Structure 1
Amino acid sequence: MAPRKEQQIFQATLELLAAKGYEGLTVEGVAERSGVNKTTIYRWWPSKAALLAAALVEADLLVSAPPDTGSLRGDLEALLRGVAALLTSPPAADVAVAALGAAVHHPELATAAQRFFADRFAREEAVFARARRRGELPDTADPMLIMDLLAGAVWLRAVFRGLPLDDDFAAGAVAAVLDGVTRPKAADAAKSLGEVP
């Protein structure tokens, strides 16, 4: 299938998902909205779950290139701002929330959600590989845990708590993960200041 036509189908799929939820999403509706015959859609995707799974991973609406600011902190802040925009700016926010809700209630979509997050993490791994090469991140650090902590904070605040994300949220969340939130012990603080050999 031509890439442009495929993107039209994916766009129509996500628009219908955002507007009508998973229950209201139909292959017939996607066909009508995208101008593609439903038999063509079924030829490529045998069910609406399969179609939605492909759309979540491959639609231009949800794709973003990993940032390269020159530092791990800068890259993580940029990544977090991207997640925040995804979850707070229509139509992407409507799509993300509808897809999450659908995955919770429809087991056949659990794989789609897993594939979406696996794809996003695969793209983000370049950030951590560069940070290791620059000596900013030890080999023992777990990139998935770092991203779960950061992205989870955005999901929890924006989607579940319904609170706004101010301009300082990304920097604060990244600082909490990279620097910690407790005061260093006196000996550690003195050592960092060069007072202890």
Structure 2
Amino acid sequence: MAPRKQQEIFDATLWMVAEKGYDGLTVEGVAERSGVNKTTIYRWWPSKAALLGAALVESDVLGFETPDTGSFRGDLVALVEQIVRLLTEPPGSDIAVTALAAAVRHPELDARRFFADRFARERVIFERAARRGELSASADPLLIVDLLAGAVWIRAVFRGLPLPEGYAEKAVSVLLDGL
């Protein structure tokens, strides 16, 4: 399948899930929106869960660039700022929150692939920091990401509170410097 057409299918999938929720997502609807036959979609993805899982990882809408600021602290701040944008700014916020929340109720929607893909990209931050001597070998990169991303999820999504200016720097400082 042509990459451009694949992106159109992924975009249609993500917009539909944002508008209608996972239960309202249909392969027929995605086919209509993207201008392809539903058999084409089923040829590549056997179910709507598989299609949404691929769209979460592969779509440009939820794109992710691994920060490289030259310092561990700077990279973490930039990473948290990306997570803040993902969870608070449309269209990413509508898509990510709806799709990832659906994964809780629908185990067939394997959101682990989304998080595994993101962490594989984030791991580079920790490898560079270790090479520069900024991070101990005993540090747990997944725990660090969970603490920072979890703080954003709790504040922005679950509590529905705004994230003040400088939130990313403050969260990283609390984690790295302690209270």
1:186 corresponding residue in structure 2: none
List runs of 5+ in structure 1 lacking aligned partners.
182-197
Deviation (angstroms), 1:68: 0.5
Aligned equivalents of 2:76 and 2:101: distance in 1?
26
Aligned equivalents of 1:169 and 1:82: distance in 2?
12
1:89 corresponding residue in structure 2: 89
Deviations 1:97-149 (A, max 9, x none): 1112211111211x2x1110010000001111110111000100000000000
Deviation (angstroms), 1:12: 0.2
Pick from 146, 165, 168 the counterpart of residue 166 of structure 2.
168
TM-score normalised according to structure 1 size: 0.90
Aligned equivalents of 2:54 and 2:73: distance in 1?
32
**Which stretches of structure 1, 4 residues or more, deviate above 2 A after TM superposition?**
none
Pick from 119, 137, 140 the counterpart of residue 138 of structure 2.
140
Deviation (angstroms), 1:59: 0.5
TM-score normalised according to structure 2 size: 0.98
Deviations 1:140-183 (A, max 9, x none): 000000000000000000000000011210000000111111xx
Aligned equivalents of 1:68 and 1:119: distance in 2?
18
Structure 1 stretch 116-125 or stretch 58-67: which is displaced more? 58-67
SS of 2:137 mapped into structure 1: coil
Question: Residues 155-194 of structure 1: matches in 2 within 5 Å?
Answer: 155-181=153-179
Aligned equivalents of 2:3 and 2:92: distance in 1?
20
1:122 corresponding residue in structure 2: 120
Give the partner amino acid of 2:170.
G
Matched, 1:153 2:155: no
Aligned equivalents of 2:70 and 2:100: distance in 1?
33
Aligned equivalents of 1:94 and 1:142: distance in 2?
30
2:129 corresponding residue in structure 1: 131
Q: Identity, % of aligned pairs?
A: 70
Deviation (angstroms), 1:96: 1.0
Deviations 1:16-45 (A, max 9, x none): 000000011000000010111111001000
2:74 corresponding residue in structure 1: 74
Aligned equivalents of 2:19 and 2:60: distance in 1?
18
List runs of 5+ in structure 2 lacking aligned partners.
none
What value does the CA root-mean-square deviation take over the aligned residues? 0.7
